[in-house]
Amino acid sequence: MNNAADFHTQEDDVFGRIAGRYDLLSDLFSFGIHRLWKRRVAAIITREPWTDLLDVAAGTGDVVLKVARRQGLRSGQKIVASDISPQMLAIARRRATQLKVPVEFRVLDAHAMPGVADNSVDLYSISLGLKICERKLALREALRVLKPGGRFIALEASNISVRWLHRAYLGYMAVCMPVIGWAATGGDASAYRYLLKGIQDFPTAEGLAAELREMGFADVSFERLSLGIVAIHTARKPFGPRP
Ligand SMILES: C[S@@+](CC[C@H](N)C(=O)[O-])C[C@H]1O[C@@H](n2cnc3c(N)ncnc32)[C@H](O)[C@@H]1O
């Protein structure tokens, strides 16, 4: 189990460099469809009962802002949006202020979040961030901070189940991402190289579900969106020790 994008935050502050263009790049790479994927994640989050929500690798805050706008915050509820990049979080904070939604922002590394107590989070979400993390570390940390019974939700690149279509999609992305990425970042190659590698090497939906079970998550399931270009995995931290 590893890091699909072969991305190491300490070695390349790529998200800090492209923060101001990240939202534009997301729209260009996905033709705007990422908004529908995140809307679906927000819908799943809002139908769950939770008091403390931690969104990890939150970027410019798309998911938490959708959640906060969708349901407003009920009494006692708290949303924390975290990311390793202060530049990405600065944009998220600005958007939250404009929308007047109460979100707390914290710079946190998904691999080790010593500032978040064990068993303290009802709902942990991560969108399009797992492919650039060491999955094993990030998933172990998710399990640690979740309360027993707490919910895990991950939106991530996945596989179109029709093989030839998936290959065609990867071929298309291999051509399209460098061109769009190059133009939109003024020639910053790493900005799209990581994401492309992450898309190519991320496990299938079934593979990620198996990893989640292996890590100790319970009630693991997934739904494919856009034919399987991405999938949303949901799981729970079990109440008791592993059998
Ligand atoms: C592809 S963006 C996704 C952002 C946002 N969740 C979205 O869906 O638009 C990946 C984000 O992960 C963050 N990131 C990368 N490595 C991280 C780590 N180890 N811990 C926390 N965040 C990380 C980056 O700074 C970036 O904001």
CA of 105 from ligand 1 middle (Å) equals 13
Kindly tell me if the per-residue pLDDT of 74 is higher than 90: no
Q: Quote the pTM value.
A: 0.94
Question: Which of 74-88, 104-118, 208-222 is predicted least confidently?
Answer: 74-88
Question: Which of 24-28, 34-38, 144-148, 154-158 is predicted least confidently?
Answer: 24-28
Residue nearest to atom 13 of ligand 1 (CA): 57
pLDDT tens digit string along 79-90? 999 999 999 999
| Beta-sheet strand order (sheet of 52-56) | 104-107, 78-83, 52-56, 121-127, 146-157, 230-236, 218-225
Q: Does 129 sit in the ligand 1 pocket, CB within 6 Å?
A: yes
Q: Does 55 sit in the ligand 1 pocket, CB within 6 Å?
A: no
Residue 240 or residue 231, greater confidence: 231
Question: In testing the pocket of ligand 1, which one of 79, 87, 116, 128 has its CB within 8 Å of the most ligand atoms?
Answer: 128
pLDDT tens digit string along 22-59? 898 889 888 899 999 999 999 999 999 999 999 999 99
Q: Does 65 sit in the ligand 1 pocket, CB within 6 Å?
A: no
Q: How confident is the model at residue 242 (pLDDT cuts 50, 70, 90)?
A: low
Residue 181: predicted pLDDT: 79
Q: Does 211 sit in the ligand 1 pocket, CB within 6 Å?
A: no
Residue 10: predicted pLDDT: 67
Of the candidates 104, 123, 92, which has an alpha carbon nearest to the alpha carbon of residue 19? 92
CA of 241 from ligand 1 middle (Å) equals 30
Q: From the centroid of its chain, how far is CA 36? A: 14
Kindly tell me if the per-residue pLDDT of 124 is higher than 70: yes
Closest atom of ligand 1 to CA, residue 61:
5
Residue 166: predicted pLDDT: 92
HSE of 120 in the Cβ direction (CA atoms, 13 Å)?
Answer: 12
CA of 243 from ligand 1 middle (Å) equals 33
Name, in order, each residue with C-beta under 8 angstroms of 155's C-beta and a sequence gap of 6 or more.
Answer: 37, 38, 40, 41, 63, 125, 126, 127, 128, 230, 231, 232
Q: Does 84 sit in the ligand 1 pocket, CB within 6 Å?
A: yes
CATH architecture of 14-236: 3-Layer(aba) Sandwich (3.40)
